Structure 1
C-alpha cells in the first residue's frame, strides 16, 4: 500500500524526463563506446544542421518576404464583384492574405525555405554520416557484445545524450507553460522538481527574456492576424454585390453627408428591417442544423442571426464605398455570460479610424454604433 501510494504520488512529468534519461543511458550501455559516440555525434550533427537550417531560412525569409509582398501588390489584385466558385474563393483568400498579412506570408515562406535548405544540408551530410555510422561485421564473424569498459564508457556517453534529450523536452514544456500560464496543466508541470531545475538553471538563463516575454507577444500577434484571415473569407464569399442590394444601400444613405452618417443610416436600416431568426437558433441548438444563408437571402427574407445581419451590413456598406469588416467573437448574453456573436467595424475616412457597430442589437434598444462601452459587451475573437 505504501509503495502504491508512493508511485501514485509521482509527478508524470518527472517520470517522463527520468525515463528519457534512463533509456538513453541503457542504450549507451548496450551499444558500447564506439556506437554510442557515433550516435551522440549524429545527434549533435543533426542538431547543428537544424540550427543552421533555421538560421539560413530566417535570413532568406526576411529578405524574400518584402519582395513577395511588393510583387503581389504590383499585381493590383482585387476580388472581382461576381459570384465565385470554391476554388476561386480559396485562391483570392490565399493570395490577398499573403499580400496583406505579414506573419502569414513570413510563416509560409519560412516553412518553404526551411524545407528546401534542410533537404540540401542533409543531402550534403548524409553520405558522410551513413558511411561513418555503418558498422559491418567482419566476414564470417557475428557482432559481439561490447566489453565491460566499452559499456561503461557507452553508458557515460548515453548519459550525455540523455541529458540533451531531457533538456530538449524541458525546453518544449517551458514554451508550453509560457504560452498557457493560467492552466491546471501548467501548474502540474511546474510541480515537477526535475522540470523546475532544468528550466531554472538551464533554459531560462540560455533563452533570456525571449521565451517568457517576447514569445507570448508574438503568439498574440499571430492569433490576431489569424482572426483577421478568418474574417477575410467574408470579403471573398460576399464579394458579389447584387444590384437590388446596391440600389437599396444607395437610396438609404442618400442623405448621408459623410462616412459616419452613411454608416449610421445603414446600421439603423439593417437593425430595424431584419428580424432575429429564433427558429434558426433553435434548429442549431437542438438539432445542430445550421442554415447558411447569403446576404441576398437575408435581404430578401428580412430574417437572420447575428452573422447574417453583419454580412448584409458589410455588403451594403461596401456597395457605397465604405471599408467594412465582419467581426466574430463573444457577445454579452444579458445573463452574466457571453456567447458566440458577430458584428461589424466600419472605417470612417474623415476621422481616420475604425469604429464598431452591432446592427443585431438595435432591436434590443440603446445605441450600438460606436458606444463608449462597446468593448465591455463585445469581445473580439483572437
Structure 2
C-alpha cells in the first residue's frame, strides 16, 4: 500500500485505482454524515451481509451438486416429449425442460441460483431481529439519536462525525476488497475477457492479486478456458435440443418414405447408407438460400417437411431431414454442427449427421454425397470440425 501511495500520482487516473478511490471516498462521506452510531450500525450489517453471502454461496454450491442427479432422475421419469406437432410455446417449454434434464452444467447452474435465492430470502428474515439486537446493545433508537444530536455539544458532534468517518473508511476498505476480489475472479476465469488485460496492468490490482493468489489462485488457475469451453458447449447443446424438440414428431409421409428407402436393408448400417444415398441424390442444394444468408444476412428457416416437399435445402436442412428419416426406421442418429472445408483452403459453418452403429458414432454428410463418398470416409475429420459439445 505504501508503494502505491508513493506512485499514486502516476496511477491516479488508472481505472481500477480510480474506482477504489471512489468507493473509499463515498464511504468516508457516508460515515461523516451518519456519525459514530450510524456508521457502526452500517459496518456491522456490511460484515453480516458479507458473511451471509459467502455462506449462501457455499451451501448453494454444495446442495446444487447433491440435488442435480436427483433432479435428473426425476425429470427422466416424468418428462416425455409428445409424439405430435408442438406449438411454439410447447416447443420452448420442452426445449428448456429436456435441456435441464439432460445437460448437467445447465441443471447445476439453475439449481445453484434457485437454492442461493432461497437461502438469501431465508437469511433476510433474520435482519429485523439483528436490527433490534443491535439497537438494544447500542442503547439508541431512532428517536434517541435525534434527541442526542440536539443535546450534544458541538465538540461531541464533531468527534462523532470524525469517528463515523473512520468507521466509514473501514467499511469502504471492505467494499474495495470485495471489488478487487471480484476482479481477481473475473481475470482468473476469463483471462481473455473484456478489459482483463487492462485490469492486470493496474498497479493496485497487481499488489492485491499478490495477496489473493496464495488463497485462491491455485483453485482458479486454468479454469477460465475450461469454463468458457463448457459454457460454449452447453449453449451448443441447447441449440441442438431446440431442433430435436421441433423435429421430434415424424410426419406420416416422411415415415413412409423412410420405410420404403430401407425396405431391403437388413442392418442399421445398411439403413443408414440407404438413407444417405437417397438424400444425397434427391435433395438439391439451395444456393439462393445460402447466398441470401451470406450476402444479406437473411435466414429462411425451414422444417424437414419443407425440405422433403421442395426437395431442396442447405446443409442444416439436409441434416435435420436425415435425422428425422433415420429415427423413423429406428436408427440412432444426431445432427452435428461445426465447420466444413470450403474447397478453397478455408472452413465455413456446416452441419452433418452421425449414426450409432455397433456402439460407435459414424459420421456422414449427405449434403456432400454428390461430390464423393462421405459416409464415414477416412478423411472426414480433416474436412469437418465439429463444435465442442458436452457429453450427456
2:131 aligned residue: 129
Whether 1:253 aligns to 2:262 is yes
- Alpha-carbon RMSD across the aligned residues, in angstroms, is 3.0
| Per-residue CA distance 1:331-363 (angstroms, 9 max, x = gap) | 333444443322222222x1x122333222233
The number of residue pairs the alignment matches comes to: 373
Q: Secondary structure in 1 aligned to 2:125?
A: helix
In structure 2, the partner of 1:97 is: 99
Maintained 8 Å contact 2:91/2:245: yes
**Aligned equivalent of 1:164, options 171, 174, 199:** 174
SS in 2 for 1:182: coil
Match of 2:370 among 356, 363, 378: 363
Is residue 42 of structure 1 aligned with residue 51 of structure 2?
no
Q: CA deviation at 1:286?
A: 4.3
The offset of 1:170, in angstroms, is 2.0
Counterpart of 1:278 in structure 2 is 287
Equivalent in 213, 218, 227 of residue 209 of structure 1: 218
Partners of 1:186 and 1:61 lie apart in 2 by 29
Segment drifting more, 22-31 vs 11-20: 22-31
Once the two structures are TM-superposed, the CA of residue 19 in structure 1 deviates from its matched residue by 2.1
Paired with 1:143 and 1:354, the residues of 2 have a C-alpha distance of 84
Please, which of 68, 71, 81 is the counterpart of residue 71 of structure 2? 68
Cα deviation, 1:269-307, whole Å, max 9, x if unaligned, reads 222321111111233344443222111110121111111
* TM-score, normalised relative to structure 2: 0.83
* Range with greater deviation from structure 2 (372-381 or 228-237): 372-381
Secondary structure of 2:338's counterpart equals strand
Separation of aligned partners in 2, 1:73 and 1:279: 42
Q: Is the 8 A contact 2:285 2:313 kept in 1?
A: yes
Aligned with 1:181: secondary structure?
coil
Q: In 1, distance between residues paired with 2:49 and 2:148?
A: 34
Name the residue aligned to 1:82. Answer: 84
User: Taking structure 1 as reference, are residues 376 and 153 closer, same or farther at Cα in structure 2, changes over 3 Å only?
Assistant: farther
- TM-score computed with the length of structure 1 as normaliser: 0.85
**Deviation larger for 334-343 or 191-200:** 334-343
Determine if contact 2:366/2:374 at 8 Å carries over to the other structure: no
Distance 2:189 2:149 in 1: 55
Gaps of 5+ in 2: 1-8, 136-140
Q: Deviations over 1:255-274 (max 9, x none)?
A: 44433332233223222321
**More moved, 84-93 vs 123-132:** 123-132
C-alpha spacing 1:340/1:53, structure 2 compared with 1 (3 Å) = same
- Alignment match, 2:205: 195
163 and 92 in structure 1: CA distance in 2 versus 1, 3 angstrom threshold = same
Distance (whole Å) between structure 2 residues aligned to residue 221 and residue 229 of structure 1: 12
**Alignment correspondent of 2:138:** none
The partner residue of 1:11 within 7, 10, 14 is: 14
Quick check: 1:361–1:368 contact (8 Å CA) kept in 2?
Answer: no
**279, 291, 295: which is aligned to 2:300?**
291
For residues 9 and 29 of structure 1, what CA distance do their matches in structure 2 show?
Answer: 24
| 2:24 corresponding residue in structure 1 | 21
CA distance in 1, matches of 2:98, 2:363: 24
Q: Distance in 1 between matches of 2:288 and 2:164?
A: 71
Distance in 2 separating the partners of 1:82 and 1:158: 63
Shift of the 101–296 alpha-carbon distance from structure 1 to 2, 3 Å rule, reads same
1: CA distance, partners of 2:325 / 2:350: 20
